[in-house]
Amino acid sequence: MSIFLNKKILIYGLGKSGLSSFQFLKNKNNIFLYDDHKLKNKNLDIKKNLINYKDLLKLKIDQIILSPGIDINKCKLSKFLKKNQNKIYTDLDVFYSFYKNDCITITGTNGKSTTCQLMYEILSDQKFDVKLVGNIGNPILSVRGVKKKTIFVLEASSYQLEYSKIFKSKYAAILNLSPDHLERHKTLNKYIKAKFKLLKNQSRESLAFVNKNDLLINKELKLNSFNSKIIKVDTKKKYNNFLKNVDNKYFISETNKENLSFILEISKKLNLKNNLISQTIKKFSGLKYRQQIIFKRNNLTVINDSKSTSFSSSIGLLKSNQNIYWVLGGIYKRGDKLNLSKKYFSNIKAFIYGKNKKPFINQLRGKITYQNFDNLKIALKEIFVIIKKEKFINKTILFSPCAASFDSFKNFEDRGLFFNNLIRRHLNEL
């Protein structure tokens, strides 16, 4: 029986995840809702369950469902949460307490969304009853029509895993690790611990796929023991024969080859049909604004990688393309570093934009030739001035910002769309 029945439950944070938790639990419990921000367009159901700060402190709460976006150290209920930390759960815990379906849970610093999407498409094409959920956009509790055979492909962020207590995944994968979200986790070690919560909670019959070549992952494996069977995925293994048969330019980059290596290893354990896997990969076009080739003609390729929020997420593309005009800028992530070998430096010209140029300049100075601009629009204008003079040279405009977008845009999608519109205008003028 679920532990989330006939309880007094506080749901804190009313974004997608919080609201899906509310809809799922409201008929089974006494639910109270709280958010740090004033809500727009409150329906009657939500209004009825909202509670103010003073009344909340008087209540004896059994459980707290914490939305991923809530930072326990930087929220209005910080003291309350720290006092009641043993009562904090996540929507993943709620899901697991009601359903024991097989989950393929993917985490890591980079490549999660792409790997999840491809895994989902492979399973769909092989006629599995499969749902794509989590950080990729659909909260796990929003899914309807769950059957015993339903498989979940789940993208899990460190925010989702950090406070999970009972969630278990039959298949788990940690693709890679590099410093990320340190503004929230404070230290690299805490960030790694949040990711490894996925493995820590696994049972003996579960499988954990980890990157054999990742130093941070290997270090954590040496320091701890886990119940699940650990499968080390060789991301440097060459799948040339496989890719020859596939012939998909999306998998030229090192990053996407690494994502593919996890897909193939997980597929083996699921006994999936290789010929059908090849067919799915052949037609896979990737995710919008993630290493997306938006233009390729004559001597010019344009790649929109607006989803890139760290240097590590851009490395694969920087290694895989010719004469790169690299456009980057936005809100720099604390602790992020450019770990690119010298042999690639001369192939890249960087165009840094925005108000927060200094940390990017510090990372590139003495390594890569760069110019800096007030905004993205001016940076692209300068690039196309140069391009017009170099008509016969193969070149790539790579928009891979290595930063959060909130300095000038709502999100990475908004940033990606803005870039596409600018590119369209410039191409019309060529």
Are both 18 and 145 inside the same structural domain?
Answer: no
In a domain, 104, yes or no: yes
- What are 56-61's contacts with CB under 8 Å, separation 24+? 56/10, 56/32, 56/80, 59/8, 59/10, 59/32, 60/8, 61/8, 61/9, 61/10, 61/32, 61/87
Q: What is the pLDDT of residues 187-209, one digit of tens each?
A: 999 999 999 999 999 999 999 99
Give the mean pLDDT of 325-349: 92
As to burial, measured by CB atoms within 10 angstroms (0-12 exposed, 13-18 middle, 19+ buried), residue 97 is middle
Long-range contacts of 414-418 (CB under 8 A, 24+ apart): 415/289, 415/306, 415/330, 416/288, 416/289, 416/292, 416/304, 416/306, 416/307, 418/376
Last residue in a domain, options 234, 252, 283: 283
Residue 270 and residue 132 share a domain: yes
Section 86-98 average pLDDT: 97
Q: Which of 30, 55, 89 is the last residue of a domain?
A: 89
Say if CB 12 and CB 18 are below 8 A apart.
Answer: yes
- More confident call, 311 vs 236: 311
> Would residue 94 count as lying in a domain?
no
Residue 349, amino acid:
K
E-state strands within 77-123: 88-89, 103-107
374 contacts 351 by C-beta, under 8 angstroms: no
CA 158, 106, 223, 227 torsion: positive or negative? positive
114 and 85 fall within a common domain: no
Shared domain check, 241 and 106: yes
Please tell me whether residues 84 and 169 are part of one structural domain.
Answer: no
CB 117 within 8 A of CB 136: yes
Flag whether 60 is in a domain.
yes
- Tell me the average pLDDT across 4-14: 96
Q: How far is CA 234 from CA 62, 212, 261, 282, in A?
A: 45, 5, 7, 22
Q: What is the pLDDT of residue 1?
A: 78
Of the residues 241, 260, 283, which one is the last residue of a structural domain?
283
- Residue 2: inside a domain, yes or no? no
Within this chain, do residues 393 and 364 fall inside the same structural domain, yes or no? yes
pLDDT in the model for residue 41: 64
Q: Which domain holds residue 258?
A: 99-283
3-state SS class at 196: helix
251 within domain boundaries: yes
Number of structural domains found in the chain: 3
Q: Provide the CA 367 distance to its chain's centre, in angstroms.
A: 28
Mean local confidence (pLDDT), 387-414 = 90
Q: What is the dihedral of CA 311, 317, 321, 322, to 10 degrees?
A: -10
Q: Is the pLDDT of residue 134 over 80?
A: yes
**149-160 tens-digit pLDDT:** 999 999 999 999
Domain co-membership, 115 together with 217: yes
The rounded distance, in Å, linking the Cα atoms of 46 and 33 is 7
In this model, does residue 284 exceed pLDDT 70? Answer: yes
Residue 224 resides in a domain:
yes
The verdict on 140 and 242 lying in the same domain is yes
CATH code (residue 191) = 3.40.1190.10
- End-to-end C-alpha distance for the chain, whole angstroms: 65
- Name 177's Cβ contacts closer than 8 Å, sequence gap at least 6: 108, 109, 191, 192, 195, 211, 214, 216, 217
- The enclosing domain of 27 has a CATH number of 3.40.50.720
**CA torsion angle 171 174 175 181 (round to 10):** 140
Q: In what order do the strands lie in the sheet with 63-66?
A: 30-34, 8-12, 63-66, 88-89
pLDDT band for position 250 (cuts 50, 70, 90): confident
Q: Report the distance separating Cα 400 and Cα 307, nearest Å.
A: 8
Six-digit token pair at 377? 């629009």
Q: Which long-range CB contacts under 8 A does 415-419 form with residues at least 24 apart?
A: 415/289, 415/306, 415/330, 416/288, 416/289, 416/292, 416/304, 416/306, 416/307, 418/376, 419/304, 419/306, 419/327, 419/376, 419/380
Enter the pTM of the model: 0.87
CATH code of residue 396: 3.90.190.20
Max Cα–Cα distance, the chain, nearest Å = 73
Q: Is the domain of 65 the same as that of 123?
A: no
User: 214 lies in a domain?
Assistant: yes
- Is the pLDDT confidence value at 42 over 80? no
Cβ-contact 105, 90 below 8 angstroms: no
Q: Quick one: what percent of the chain has pLDDT higher than 70?
A: 99
Can you say how many angstroms the Cα of residue 156 is from the centroid of all Cα atoms in its chain?
8
Q: pLDDT value at position 253?
A: 78
Q: Which residue has the higher pLDDT, 250 or 128?
A: 128
pLDDT exceeds cutoff 90 at 301: yes
Q: Is 81 helix (H, G, I), strand (E, B) or coil?
A: helix
Mean of the pLDDT values across residues 122-146?
94
Q: Which residues pair with 418 in a beta bridge?
A: none
Reported as a pLDDT band with limits 50, 70 and 90, residue 76 is: very high
Closest CA to 139 of 203, 76, 69: 69
Specify whether the CB–CB gap between 399 and 327 falls below 8 A. Answer: yes
Instruction: State whether 196 and 240 are in the same domain.
Output: yes
Q: Is residue 16 classed exposed, middle or buried when 0-12, 13-18 and 19+ CB atoms within 10 A define those classes?
A: middle
75 plus 200 within the same structural domain: no
How does the average pLDDT of the chain come out, rounded?
A: 92
Instruction: Examine the pLDDT at 240 and tell me if it is beyond 70.
Output: no
143/92 Cα distance (integer angstroms): 12
Give yes or no: residues 407 and 275 share one domain.
no
pLDDT beyond 80 at 265: yes
Res. 186 pLDDT band, cuts 50 70 90: confident
Inter-residue contact 91 to 17 (CB < 8 Å): yes
3-state secondary structure of 328: strand
Percent of the chain topping pLDDT 90? 75
For residues 294 and 396, what is the distance between their CA atoms, to the nearest angstrom? 11
